Amino acid sequence: MTTTPQRPDDWPADDFVSTEELLRRHDARPIATVDDLAATKDPFESDTEHDDFLADLYASRRADLG
């Protein structure tokens, strides 16, 4: 498990949340089986939202090429 024991020196104090706190806030639990990894719900509400996500992803990957 990755932990963040303290705020990095160069990180603003008001913009830092430890890994443990994020896990607590999201009620995250360890994965017990491979079946736990299977998505129970499509993360995109529509095909348009999926297409927009992919377009943004591809654009960000090409941004450093120019």
d(CA 22, CA 28): 8
As given in the structure block, the two tokens for residue 8 are 């990095």
d(CA 54, CA 58): 6
Question: In this predicted model, what pLDDT tens digit does every residue of 34-50 receive, in sequence order?
Answer: 887 776 677 788 999 99
Asked if 23 and 3 count as a contact pair (C-beta separation under 8 A), the reply is no
Mark 3-12 as b/e (b = at least 16 C-beta within 10 Å).
eeeeeeeeee
Taking 60 as the threshold, does the pLDDT of residue 30 lie above it? yes
Taking the model in full, what pTM does it have? 0.40
- Kindly list the domain boundaries of the chain, sorted by start residue: 19-64
Amino acid, res. 26: H
